[in-house]
Structure 1
Amino acid sequence: MPASPSSSAQAARIALARRLQHLRQDAGLTGKELSARCGWHPAKTTRIQKGESAPSDADIKAWCTACGSADQTEDLIATARAVDSMYVEWRRIHKNGMRKVQEDFYTLHERAGICRVYSSNAVPGFFQTADYATALLRSITDFQGTPDDVADAVAARLARSRFLYEGGHRFVVLLEEWVLRARIGDPATMTHQLRHLLDVLPLPSVSLGVIPFSAPRVVWPLEAFYVFDNAHTVVETLTAEINIRQPREIADYRRAFAELATMAVFGADARALVESAIRTLT
């Protein structure tokens, strides 16, 4: 099963640090000699080589120049940026509000032919109603203490729903039954959201499965994750967004998704669980 995404990000940082360390060693330089050439304290070199401090673009350029390997600068900067984007705290992403990240997700959906989603905590954005999205994003903004642009963020989030109806996109979604029972917003908001799920369930672009409370677990409940084609997986934790592009890890998430699907019910049985949740609210 998938390893901790944060540990995967740390492993990537260590791999980058080792590349820089090997570059120094191949140049025949000690840590102190490299530090002198770069014009910084030796402690900084130690932190970078241990993966404790992320090097900036300027740091990498200075490092490569000091080692006589300026031709590797561009590749190492690209690698460092990819590592930096693997594990990004929500407060950093939302420092100017939530609209931008919603627009970024729009682009991911626009480019992907098939999107596989497992959610244990909320209805996915492309299935959300305006009131449900507003209640959810309002609670996130309040919790994080980030700038309030909820109205704009909701509009950007709801724009994704167009791909349910156009462009030949496919959405294969697995929801834990808890998602149907959780109260996000007031009862009227939840009722409207659940009825909207019934509306999208028959769409040709949608395969919606629900994992019942009573299903024997072959995979434990996981953090919500999105697999875009076979190229990119996004994992959402309480504090961060993790972007995974390593083929082996993406394959692990595909495998987890396939096993979660064996626990889910579809079609009429999934509809029955949604209708049961509606009756509870009304």
Structure 2
Amino acid sequence: MRDIARARQAIAARLKGLRLDAKLTGRQLAARYGWQPSKVSKIESGKQTPSEDDIRAWCDAVGRPNEESDLIASLRAVDTLYGEWRRQLRLGTKVKQQSWLAAETNTTNFRVFEPCVIPGLLQTSEYARERLTQSVAFYGTPDDIDEGVSVRLRRQDVLYSNSRTFHFIILEAALKLGMATPDVMLGQLDRLMAAAAMPRVRLGIIPMQARLPYTPLNGFWILDRRVVLVETYSAELTLTLSEEVGQHEHMFDLYTSVAEYGRAARMLIASAIDGLTGVAGDPSPG
């Protein structure tokens, strides 16, 4: 998210600098186009994103038409950070999963942190169906869940590549939250137990009682050291600035320091399985 905020602030700062260089007040600029005076201050503070027409008018007012194309290109780059997500949603879950497949095919080192869900590369088909069904219902996207699940499972082929390494960290809560029916969760936990034994997979689980080094605001995927993918409710962020990648690497290391691995991690999974064993398959009371 900070990539987007920073890009918007950079545009705002350039526009403000152009106005000051032209020795125009905000009121003078607003009056020229019949804008509310507050519009100029909101744009310059980054609280309002200018339109392309706003930028054209601004550059004309300050006598710097040569700045127009570069500023519009910057604006479109910001829009792209959100636009690709919206485009993929409109096309359904299959296209979204295919974009992840393409990114993962070009990755050799995976570092994944998920606070509430089992990472897609470790999901069973039933658990994946629950996740994609929720997505379709929430966003109102085309119902191509069967195709989406199929591609998500195909993504897991990378787990068997000798040239790749995987480090997953999840909170213990992801094992116990009601993200699926008990029967589905049992199957998913069994799959997770098997994944923990895979030769190139390192699975860390942060116990409920662990003192967290930082608030787990969202999950993130670090692909090699080139990009971080972060999903929010309204967008998927692709972070590529070295500072942003470094911050997520540091955060991942912090979570690594409090995660349990090996036998201790398997015991946490086994405990979650034990908690579900008496529930799965039971009829509703009454």
Shared fold, TM over 0.5: yes
The alignment status of 1:157 with 2:156, answered yes or no, reads no
Q: Which of 133, 140, 149 pairs up with 1:145?
A: 140
Aligned equivalent of 1:275: 270
Name which structure has the greater RCO, CA cutoff 8 Å, separation 6+. 1
The Cα offsets for residues 191-236 of structure 1, whole Å up to 9 and x where unpaired, read as 1111111222222331110001122322333311112222222222
Pick which of 160-169 and 129-138 moved more: 160-169
Aligned equivalent of 1:122: 117
Aligned equivalent of 2:282: none
Contact 1:134 1:154 (C-alpha < 8 Å) held by counterparts: yes
Q: Which of 173, 197, 214 pairs up with 2:168?
A: 173
Aligned equivalent of 1:209: 204
C-alpha spacing 1:113/1:65, structure 2 compared with 1 (3 Å): farther
For structure 2, the residue ranges without an aligned partner over 5 or more in a row are: 278-286
Contact 1:89 1:239 (C-alpha < 8 Å) held by counterparts: no
The Cα offsets for residues 119-170 of structure 1, whole Å up to 9 and x where unpaired, read as 1111111111111100111122213333322222222222221111127222
Equivalent pairs counted in the alignment come to: 275
The Cα offsets for residues 89-147 of structure 1, whole Å up to 9 and x where unpaired, read as 96675233222222222222122221211111111111111111001111222133333
The alignment status of 1:107 with 2:102, answered yes or no, reads yes
Identity across aligned pairs (percent)? Answer: 36
Q: How large is the Cα RMSD of the aligned pairs?
A: 3.2
The Cα offsets for residues 31-86 of structure 1, whole Å up to 9 and x where unpaired, read as 7998899xx65457666444344445676577667767666556444432332244
Paired with 1:277 and 1:255, the residues of 2 have a C-alpha distance of 29
Contact 1:91 1:144 (C-alpha < 8 Å) held by counterparts: no
The alignment status of 1:227 with 2:231, answered yes or no, reads no
For structure 1, the residue ranges without an aligned partner over 5 or more in a row are: none
Aligned equivalent of 1:185: 180
**Larger gyration radius, structure 1 or structure 2:** 2
